[in-house]
Chains A and B, each alone.
Chain A
Amino acid sequence: MAKARGFVEFNTEACKGCELCVKACPFDVLDMNHLVNGKGYHFSYMKNYDQCTGCASCAMVCPDVVITVYKVK
């Protein structure tokens, strides 16, 4: 069976850099960016983007609802 594929997009300006999504990702896709957003928080980004399966685990735990998930069905 082919692996499910997907990607996520972040509303980086609303991200508060809590890192919960980085911890929640089962495939080690996400990491914190060394850049900061307008509020001064490091925001998360897709480091290993080709590993993403679109499982939405990151979006489930994101307290600020900044993540949008796309998935190839």
Chain B
Amino acid sequence: MSDIETYKKELLAQGAKKIFTKTKNLTDTPFSYCGGCGHGVVHRLIMEVVEELNITHDTIGIAPVGCTAIAYEFMNIDMQQAAHGRAPALATGIKRTMPDKYVFTYQGDGDLAAIGTGETIHACNRGENIAIFFVNNGIYGMTGGQMAPTTLPGMVSSTSPYGRNMDTHGYPLSLTELVAKLPGTYYVTRQSVHTPANVRKCKKAIQTAFENQKLNKGLSFVEIVSNCNSGWKMTPVESNKWMEENMFRSYPLGDIKLPQ
């Protein structure tokens, strides 16, 4: 027997307890995301919060198009697929017909900030009692790293090979700050999942978003700034560093609108 196995046996004999393992709310299917992608962590956090709040059977998730289009393969709860960008509209319908259920949408920046801008803004403006989780990586990740509305100024993507030029491509769209101005939103925050401390903070924000649905006071909007190491053409560790240095300048972390 190797040393490490002996060491593990010894610790178990001393009463070592399992303090962390994969939550039952995630299926055994391995994630289809690229290695190092933040989606996996966000999936885990949402499912852990759902388990801890004991609302597994009362939660309905909506996954529209994007890398997360097959989130229902991984999340062991009731899920519904939406047309591209239309998740907030679908969530509105589900929440209004079943007001006692917890409804969340899980959207990327191509979905929420590009094709679904109208649905997002109007759902926020109506103050629908849902939670929106918005994973922002500044690029269209699934389709091959094209420029998104959230792409940073000067950022190279496959459709802006010389970097985003504001004269022709416009400015980055920060939808989170935009919806925070609307009276319909109750809680708006921006988080990230690249370090253990940020992951713990992000989990608290996700938990708050679910708990707010009980209060019936408006929409909770949680943006999670994430990496896209395949689209950015970097290693996961490099992409997290790049994200810290560049993304956080345009998308600073922290609470934007707290409940009054």
A and B: bona fide binding partners: yes
Which residues of A come within 8 Å of B, CB atoms?
5-7, 9, 11, 13-14, 16-20, 23-24, 41, 46, 49-50, 54-57, 59-73
- Which residue on chain A has the smallest CB distance to residue B20? A69
Are A70 and B18 CB-contacts (below 8 A) given A24-B195, A46-B4? yes
- Contact string, B25-60, partner A, CB cutoff 8 A, digits 1/0? 010001101111111110010000000000000000
A72 near B15 with CB under 8 A, answer yes
B30 near A64 with CB under 8 A, answer yes
Q: List 25 A-B contacts (CB under 8 A).
A: A5-B16, A7-B4, A7-B7, A7-B16, A14-B30, A16-B35, A19-B36, A19-B236, A20-B36, A20-B240, A23-B237, A24-B195, A41-B35, A54-B19, A56-B19, A61-B196, A63-B31, A63-B33, A63-B40, A64-B31, A65-B22, A68-B22, A69-B21, A71-B16, A73-B15
- Contact string, B231-248, partner A, CB cutoff 8 A, digits 1/0? 000011100100000000
**How many B residues, CB 8 Å from partner?**
40
Say yes or no: is B14 at the interface (Cβ < 8 Å to chain A).
Answer: yes
- Contact string, B214-233, partner A, CB cutoff 8 A, digits 1/0? 00000000000000010000
Q: How far is the CA of A18 from the CA of B227 in the complex (A)?
A: 12
A68 near B200 with CB under 8 A, answer no
Taking the nearest CB of chain A, how far is it from the CB of B30, in angstroms?
A: 5
A57 near B196 with CB under 8 A, answer yes
A65 near B44 with CB under 8 A, answer yes
Say yes or no: is B193 at the interface (Cβ < 8 Å to chain A).
Answer: yes
- Contact residue among B8, B21, B38, B199 (Cβ-Cβ distance under 8 Å from A60): B199
B38 near A69 with CB under 8 A, answer no
Other than A6-B16, A70-B11, give 16 A-B pairs with Cβ distance below 8 A. A5-B11, A5-B14, A13-B30, A17-B35, A18-B35, A18-B236, A19-B236, A24-B196, A46-B4, A50-B7, A54-B16, A60-B199, A65-B23, A69-B21, A70-B18, A73-B15
Say yes or no: is B194 at the interface (Cβ < 8 Å to chain A).
Answer: yes
B235 near A19 with CB under 8 A, answer yes
Q: Report B-chain residues with C-beta under 8 Å of the C-beta of A16.
A: 34-36
B36 near A63 with CB under 8 A, answer yes
Q: Report B-chain residues with C-beta under 8 Å of the C-beta of A14.
A: 30
- Which residue on chain B has the smallest CB distance to residue A18? B36
Say yes or no: is B12 at the interface (Cβ < 8 Å to chain A).
Answer: yes
B199 near A61 with CB under 8 A, answer yes
Q: How far is the CA of A69 from the CA of B199 in the complex (A)?
A: 16
- Contact string, B178-195, partner A, CB cutoff 8 A, digits 1/0? 000000000000000111
Say yes or no: is B17 at the interface (Cβ < 8 Å to chain A).
Answer: yes
Q: How far is the CA of A69 from the CA of B21 in the complex (A)?
A: 7
A63 near B37 with CB under 8 A, answer yes
